[in-house]
Structure 1
Amino acid sequence: MAGSDGYALNDEADIIPRDIRFGILGNATRHWYGGDIHKTLMADGLSIFLPEGERYFIRSLKHYASKLGDRELAAEINGYSVQEAYHTREHEDYNRAMASLGYDIEEMEKPVKAALGVAKNPLHRLAVTCAIEHLTATLSSVTLRRPEIFDGAAAPYRRLWMWHALEELEHKAVALDVLKAVTPNLAGWKRYLLRVSAMNATIVPFLFIFLRNTRLYAHTDGVKTGVRFWLRFLWVVAVAPGFWRRCFPLFLSYYLPNFDPKNSDDAELVRKGRAWLEQELPSASGAVPSGPAG
């Protein structure tokens, strides 16, 4: 069934940039996730990484766009880049909203910028992009499979994260497709080592930075990060709602030698996400297909 902007008619494999503004800055809310600091910081803490990360992803893929002989893949990079540009804009707005509430966003972003600046080689940057795209696709799959996770969340924030999850799944295979396309003569085992080494080099700093920023975030709210705080943190990530526990099996799939994002059939999740977005934001505009996602 077609929505008012037509995007429900598109194939599940389409990458569809949607120019939607969520107005987070105008609705800045402390502990917007049901009044729960731990649940809120799981999402807010992730947003800290995203503006700088998404600019990094765009640069990594666009570096190779003109070098590819595959016009379809080049079109996918374009669609991917437009989606990520909209994500960057909305998460910059989101982070400014946190800053307006007193959180030191500049201090939280410093280690993110430093970590992303380590890899200088374009191929290594592309491999890091593949790793982070898998992490975001994993979080997105869990979000769309279990939308009730956001029950009790303020509407602007819930809508932004559901929209972001949908678009991450639409373009989840692009970075790895580019890696394969630009390394046709690289032995399979060397490509495997490249991508898992990049994941290892990414996930460890990510965890350290996230935990560091969790402390800064909590201290802004006057919350002591003692034993009780961290036990509650573990409960939220591992038990209820169990964000990281739900992600862990999907995350580990990246370490399989034959891993391919397209092996996981998320077509139904994409349809579900589009239907949710069409119902939640029927007047959303700017949904223009940008070619198949692979």
Structure 2
Amino acid sequence: MASTTPAGLQIRPRHMDFDLPNPLPRHWHGGDAFKSHLFDAMSALFPDGERFFIDSVRHFREQIEDPLLKEQIRGFIGQEGHHSREHLEYSQRLRDLGYDIGRIEKRARMRIRFIQKRFSPERLLATTAALEHITAIMADGLLRNPHYMDGAHPALARLWRWHALEETEHKAVAFDVYNQVCGSRFMLRRAMIMATFFFVKDTLQGLAHMLKVDGLLWNWRIWRDGLRWMWGKDGVFRPLLGTYRDFFKGGFHPWQHDNLDLLYSAREEFDGAAQGQANAA
């Protein structure tokens, strides 16, 4: 079997309506500009990034013979498509506040077009697998530590937890497809180095832009407290370093980070609501 997703775990998109506030509170994460805009900057990258993921996996769909993995590819595409839709709405709320989201999106699109013209389909898929690992370990941190969203607007906190749940569910799909059609660990490691650099670069550029619009770019306390929140003793990203490095090990697979119990617990928050919304539609 090509799929290594745990037996019985179905990957299905949830049709959610998060009713994002309009207007969006400028500093929706507890009044903290740095926290709010870090999430905002990542969100602005997701619609184009997720379309790239879909295209990279879809290219190889007909080469996959395992019916289970083919079904999971279908679920992966459905989930990523819904993520893109919700984050597009999120981006519009940010535009309404005066942030130049178009510039952030243009930068991401230009890079995507560049690599799609110059990289092989296998290398594009390796990049997708690498970025899916980054989102998966961040998703695990968010689901495992609900206090990371303390003080956040409830609709935004819920959107990010929903996204984290579905990223966890499909965290191995691109990786499994890659192993079927290529499997080169060297290419995978090289893709991770490049993906990490540009993900961090683009996110920080978006964060800096939004702080500049707010007149807070050169407020050293904002940066001091924000970097401490990310990388300090109890920082939200610091515990992820070990699971990030695991990607470079020979024989690594995303489900070696077994967080099924956490996933099923998070499902309880959303599956009933998603069914209720579907029935009402």
TM-score scaled by structure 2?
0.90
Matched, 1:259 2:252: yes
Higher mean C-alpha deviation, range 20-29 or range 93-102: 20-29
* Structure 1 residue 159, shift from structure 2 partner: 0.7
Relative contact order (alpha carbons < 8 A, sep ≥ 6): 1 or 2 greater?
A: 1
* Structure 1 residue 116, shift from structure 2 partner: 2.3
Asked if structure 1 preserves the Cα contact closer than 8 Å seen for 2:16 and 2:274, the reply is no
Matches within 5 A, 1:9-28: 13-24=9-20, 26=22, 28=24
Change (3 A) 1:180 1:41: same
Asked if structure 2 preserves the Cα contact closer than 8 Å seen for 1:25 and 1:96, the reply is no
- Counterpart of 1:84 in structure 2 is 80
**Aligned residue among 189, 195, 209 for 2:188:** 195
Distance in 2, matches of 1:109 and 1:240, equals 33
Overall identity of the aligned pairs, in %: 33
Asked if structure 2 preserves the Cα contact closer than 8 Å seen for 1:48 and 1:105, the reply is yes
- Counterpart of 2:235 in structure 1 is 242
Q: Which amino acid aligns with 2:78?
A: V
Asked if structure 1 preserves the Cα contact closer than 8 Å seen for 2:23 and 2:96, the reply is no
- Counterpart of 1:159 in structure 2 is 158
Change (3 A) 1:216 1:12: farther
Instruction: Summarize deviations over 1:4-44 as a string: whole Å, max 9, x none.
Output: xxxxxxx8611121010212263522111011001111211
Distance in 2, matches of 1:103 and 1:199, equals 29
* Structure 1 residue 59, shift from structure 2 partner: 0.5
Change (3 A) 1:70 1:193: same
* Structure 1 residue 285, shift from structure 2 partner: 3.1
Q: Which amino acid aligns with 1:133?
A: E
Distance in 1, matches of 2:274 and 2:14, equals 11
Q: Which amino acid aligns with 2:201?
A: F
Q: Which amino acid aligns with 1:94?
A: Y
Report the number of matched residues: 270
Q: Which amino acid aligns with 1:210?
A: T
- Counterpart of 2:107 in structure 1 is 111
**Aligned residue among 56, 62, 75 for 1:60:** 56
Asked if structure 2 preserves the Cα contact closer than 8 Å seen for 1:149 and 1:241, the reply is no
Q: Find the residue that maps to 1:253 and give its secondary structure.
A: helix
Distance in 2, matches of 1:268 and 1:21, equals 25
**Aligned residue among 23, 27, 34 for 1:31:** 27
TM-score scaled by structure 1?
0.86
> Unaligned regions of 5+ residues in structure 2, if any?
1-6
- Counterpart of 1:41 in structure 2 is 37
* Structure 1 residue 213, shift from structure 2 partner: 1.6
Q: Which amino acid aligns with 1:136?
A: T
Distance in 2, matches of 1:85 and 1:175, equals 15
Q: Find the residue that maps to 1:214 and give its secondary structure.
A: helix
Matched, 1:230 2:223: yes
Q: Which amino acid aligns with 1:24?
A: L
Q: Which amino acid aligns with 1:270?
A: L
Distance in 1, matches of 2:25 and 2:228, equals 23
Asked if structure 1 preserves the Cα contact closer than 8 Å seen for 2:21 and 2:155, the reply is no
Q: Find the residue that maps to 1:257 and give its secondary structure.
A: coil
Name the Cα RMSD after superposition. 1.9
Matches within 5 A, 1:212-223: 212-223=205-216
Change (3 A) 1:240 1:163: farther
Distance in 2, matches of 1:241 and 1:272, equals 24
- Counterpart of 1:125 in structure 2 is 124
Distance in 2, matches of 1:113 and 1:127, equals 18
Higher mean C-alpha deviation, range 23-32 or range 121-130: 23-32
Distance in 2, matches of 1:30 and 1:162, equals 20
Distance in 2, matches of 1:240 and 1:87, equals 32
Distance in 2, matches of 1:67 and 1:278, equals 32
Asked if structure 2 preserves the Cα contact closer than 8 Å seen for 1:18 and 1:285, the reply is no
Q: Which amino acid aligns with 1:250?
A: T
- Counterpart of 1:275 in structure 2 is 268
Q: Which amino acid aligns with 1:36?
A: D
**Aligned residue among 64, 67, 71 for 2:67:** 71
Q: Find the residue that maps to 1:285 and give its secondary structure.
A: helix
> Unaligned regions of 5+ residues in structure 1, if any?
1-10, 287-294
